[in-house]
Structure 1
Amino acid sequence: MKIVSYNVRGLGSSAKRRIIRELLVKEQIDMMCVQETKLESVDVGDCTQMWRDSELEWKALPVVNKGGGLLCIWKRDTFHLLECVLGHGFIGLVGTWGDMSETSAIVNIYSSCRLEEKRAMWRELVEWKNRSPISLWCLGGDFNSVRAEEERRGVATNIGSQRRDIAEFNRFIEEMELLDLPLSGRKYTWYRPNGQAQSRIDRFLLSPEWLANWPHSAQIGFDSFVQKTWEENQITGWGAYRLKEKLKGLKVKLKSWNREVFRDLRTRREATILQINDLDSKEEELGLSEEEINLRKTVTA
């Protein structure tokens, strides 16, 4: 199975939904766990815009004080829902995969930055797991915590508070008896646009029983250019829409213009993606020169 966990930082844009739809189709995703939808409500129309398949199921947790918001969408014939648990910063899905009879728990998480609220969520999850007979657990999402100081760079924080947060997060993982799935392809999962701050706050935590059932489980990080792609597609989409309205009577010319312009945009976007990836990789290993920092600011602006 393929499960995607992604913090979209707002799902109101039609461009973001379109890119998510393209990702789901391309990668043949079975379940999608979205964080920070920033939506007060979600309906089936919102979900089908992204999933493009009527054979879907979904559960959502609305935004609180203009922050957060969670959404899970999955293929109905792949995951059979038995129970949904809505908690403090998480959606828990209890069900079975395909023809399996054993029950699994998949938990989509978006944690507050405040330690007191993290503790409340951690406590709720530990209590749920302790009273549950389920052995197959998968927690994924934005935990807003790191497991070690080296998982965060360039982020201004109180050292004492950070170490306390790290210690308590690690204790939570131990109490849940979960394993931290290694991240492939990337060292960090969040990047500040200027490239001077990174952290690994997104992850998957799996029970040993889950790994015994699916021993080839792997976590592959999204590239940091995705936010750049969001912005480019949003601008391109609206620009094309306005131009189309102005040139309704010139269909032949409009089609020619679309082919030329969008081909050029795709070429430039691919070049920008490669440039950002190269800078990200160098930043992780060696650091960037002042000239390279300024270049990264330019290409991600």
Structure 2
Amino acid sequence: MNCIFWNCRGTGSKALPGLVRQIQKRYNIDMLALFETKASGEKARQRSTNMGFMNAEIVDAVGYKGGIWVLWNEGVFKIQVIEKFEQGKQWPWIIGGDFNAILYAHERRSTAQGPSTTDRDFGNWFENMELIDLGCNGPFYTWKRQGCESQIDRVLANNQSMNAFPDATIKHLPWFKFDHRPILYQTKNEEPQLSGDRPFRMIAPWILHEDFARVVKESWILNADWTILRTFVIFSLSVFVM
């Protein structure tokens, strides 16, 4: 089972459905959770049908704030939306998304003076619920803006979930024109799917793009199952195609 948790910062972009379908195909995604969709009502439902998934559960935004879409396909597993229930620690929990808070000071890096501070309420909730941070493969920071980077997007689980999915992994995917990275959760480690066996070709406009040096640097610190080729295919799709 492969799931992505992503703060997409709005769903109004015409490029978003095509980008989601590319990601779905490349990483064989079974479930996609989008946060900060900033859409509600019939408009949200119409947009969600263009994402390439069979089923959708939507929480409407309030004005232009918030909004959650959970999209999935039948066959691999079943999702049942429970409106209200008594939370019990005996259930396997997987909680992912943009928490807008950090657990440790090193999870934020900024050009501003002064040390980074953690969110005490978030830390207390994390400890009281006896959750486990699943860590990540790939670049550490998941959000960036104006000289600040932080790891505010993450996936948490409890012991029951760890026992149910002992081989689960987390990958921070490349930036896709948004300031949050998509977070890929996999119960089994799988290679991204590339179409055909095509030779690598250097495209001259790559080196003129402001993010080119960062993409090259990050490709060396990604997990072993990534390659330069995959990184540049995704880079080219997100920058020059969409």
Q: Specify if TM > 0.5.
A: yes
Identity within the alignment, %: 27
Query: Superposition pairs for residues 54-65 of structure 1, below 5 Å?
Result: 56-65=54-63
* Partner amino acid, structure 1, of 2:108: R
CA distance in 2, matches of 1:40, 1:137: 27
Q: What's the CA shift string for 1:238-272, capped at 9, x where partnerless?
A: xxxxxxxxxxxxxxxxxxxxxxxxxxxx7635874
In terms of fraction of residues, the more helix-rich structure is 1
Q: Note closer, same or farther for the CA distance 1:63–1:83 as it changes in structure 2 (3 Å cut).
A: closer
Query: Superposition pairs for residues 2-81 of structure 1, below 5 Å?
Result: 2-41=2-41, 44-51=45-52, 53=53, 56-81=54-79
Runs of 4+ residues over 4 Å off in structure 1:
155-160, 279-282
Equivalent of 1:83 in 81, 84, 89: 81
Is the 1:31–1:72 contact (alpha carbons within 8 Å) kept by the matching residues of 2? Answer: yes
Query: Superposition pairs for residues 104-183 of structure 1, below 5 Å?
Result: 128-129=86-87, 132=88, 134-154=90-110, 162-163=117-118, 165=119, 167-183=120-136
Q: Which runs of 5+ in 2 are unaligned?
A: 180-202, 221-238
Alpha-carbon offset, residue 217 of structure 1: 0.7
Q: Which runs of 5+ in 1 are unaligned?
A: 87-126, 229-265, 283-299
Equivalent of 1:223 in 169, 174, 179: 174
Is the 1:152–1:198 contact (alpha carbons within 8 Å) kept by the matching residues of 2? Answer: yes
Is the 2:40–2:61 contact (alpha carbons within 8 Å) kept by the matching residues of 1? Answer: yes
CA distance in 1, matches of 2:143, 2:160: 29
Equivalent of 1:201 in 129, 132, 152: 152
CA distance in 2, matches of 1:172, 1:281: 34
* Partner amino acid, structure 2, of 1:206: A
CA distance in 1, matches of 2:127, 2:68: 25
Correspondence 1:268 to 2:205: yes
Equivalent of 2:139 in 186, 211, 217: 186
Is the 1:224–1:277 contact (alpha carbons within 8 Å) kept by the matching residues of 2? Answer: no
* Partner amino acid, structure 2, of 1:277: V
CA distance in 2, matches of 1:133, 1:19: 36
RMSD in angstroms over aligned alpha carbons? Answer: 3.2
Number of aligned positions between the proteins: 198
TM-score (norm 1): 0.57
Q: What's the CA shift string for 1:82-116, capped at 9, x where partnerless?
A: 33337xxxxxxxxxxxxxxxxxxxxxxxxxxxxxx
Alpha-carbon offset, residue 275 of structure 1: 2.3
* Partner amino acid, structure 2, of 1:15: A
Is the 1:225–1:277 contact (alpha carbons within 8 Å) kept by the matching residues of 2? Answer: no
* Partner amino acid, structure 2, of 1:268: P
Structure having the higher Rg: 1
TM-score (norm 2): 0.70
Q: Note closer, same or farther for the CA distance 1:44–1:154 as it changes in structure 2 (3 Å cut).
A: same
Aligned to 1:214: 165
Q: Secondary structure at the match of 1:5?
A: strand
Alpha-carbon offset, residue 43 of structure 1: 5.1
